[in-house]
Structure 1
């Protein structure tokens, strides 16, 4: 079973987005039969079997083993991955394109970059698995709070300068065989708990 499966086919994306099927996929991270899944999520076994057929046809669940129970055969299934991510390629014609935006402070540009990141890394993972080679990636995830919008703007400016300096220092397009990499740095407000009071400045400063 894969850790993450990136879904690029719109037909498979449609199959996976059904709420009941999402529950089944989550339940089948550990192998189980239709009757076991039905007990876990509180749904009739016949309904689970119907959705399992669709998921199996889409390649989202796989047969692990078949067990004889009296005069019946029980099929034990497992999800093809521990988690799933739908690539923007599933809606390629509607996916946001980074080249349409150029403002570093545009949330739309950030979203377009994130979509491209999912698409490209998803393809790289598939290629690395097929080639049985490790994939060289690096990521940083940090949380920070700013005392004011002015501090946030100063941080963004300083971060940009540092990144630009590092890119200029290490970028080498002249060496034969040099492998191109893509660097994406993002800063965005953290989602708030609905119980928390609204931010007074709402990021308009």
Structure 2
């Protein structure tokens, strides 16, 4: 079982978003047969079997073992991952395009960049899993509390300048066999508590790329 799996197929995404099937996926963090699962979630076994077949068809659950009980073979299933992320690839016709109207002050452009990040890294993870390899990535997650909006603006400007300098120093267009790496920076208010008016002003760049 993976910690996180990326759903790139539209039909699989639809299956995972069904409330009943989402409950079954959560319950199958621990392997269970349809009978065990039915008792676990309080649904009829026939209904559980129906949904399990759909989830298995889309690769969201997998067979762990088969147990013979009299004339019946009991199939023990498990979710293929502890959690799932739906890639924008699953919504190809309406996925956001970050190249459209890029604006460092726009929260929606930040969402478009985040969606592309999920899509790109998701595709890399899927390919790496198939090849039994790891993806070379690096991430930093930090929280900073600013005393004033002016401090926030100064921080964003200094961060953008530092990253621009680093990119210029290490980028080598002429290296044979070199591979491009994407750098995405984001600065946004915490989602909790609810944003105040100072969180939604536009005096500070919210995204550097």
- Please, what TM-score do these two structures have when normalized by structure 2? 0.90
CA contact (8 A) 1:37 1:48 kept: yes
Q: Aligned partners of 1:50, 1:175: CA distance in 2, in Å?
A: 54
Q: Aligned partners of 1:53, 1:129: CA distance in 2, in Å?
A: 24
- SS for the counterpart of 1:127 is helix
Q: Aligned partners of 2:52, 2:86: CA distance in 1, in Å?
A: 19
CA contact (8 A) 1:149 1:203 kept: no
Q: Aligned partners of 2:59, 2:3: CA distance in 1, in Å?
A: 15
Unaligned runs of 5+ in 1: none
The counterpart of 1:201, out of the listed 198, 202, 205, is 198
Query: Offset of 1:177 from its aligned partner?
Result: 1.1
Q: Aligned partners of 2:184, 2:158: CA distance in 1, in Å?
A: 16
Per the alignment, residue 4 of structure 1 pairs with 4
Unaligned runs of 5+ in 2: 204-209
Q: 1:203 to 1:150 in 2, by over 3 A?
A: farther
Query: Offset of 1:70 from its aligned partner?
Result: 2.9
Q: Aligned partners of 1:90, 1:73: CA distance in 2, in Å?
A: 35
Q: Aligned partners of 1:65, 1:40: CA distance in 2, in Å?
A: 19
RMSD (CA atoms): 1.6
Q: Aligned partners of 1:152, 1:201: CA distance in 2, in Å?
A: 11
Per the alignment, residue 46 of structure 1 pairs with 46
CA contact (8 A) 1:96 1:115 kept: yes
CA contact (8 A) 2:9 2:90 kept: yes
Q: Aligned partners of 2:160, 2:198: CA distance in 1, in Å?
A: 24
Number of residue pairs aligned between Structure 1 and Structure 2: 202
After TM superposition, the structure 1 = structure 2 runs for residues 174-185 of structure 1, keeping only pairs within 5 Å, are 174-185=174-185
CA contact (8 A) 1:101 1:108 kept: no
CA contact (8 A) 1:31 1:64 kept: yes
Per the alignment, residue 55 of structure 1 pairs with 55
Q: Aligned partners of 2:29, 2:159: CA distance in 1, in Å?
A: 40
CA contact (8 A) 2:146 2:152 kept: yes
Q: Aligned partners of 1:21, 1:82: CA distance in 2, in Å?
A: 14
Per the alignment, residue 173 of structure 1 pairs with 173
After TM superposition, the structure 1 = structure 2 runs for residues 80-95 of structure 1, keeping only pairs within 5 Å, are 80-95=80-95
Per the alignment, residue 162 of structure 2 pairs with 162
Query: Offset of 1:193 from its aligned partner?
Result: 4.4
Query: Offset of 1:75 from its aligned partner?
Result: 1.1
Per the alignment, residue 111 of structure 1 pairs with 111
CA contact (8 A) 1:63 1:78 kept: yes
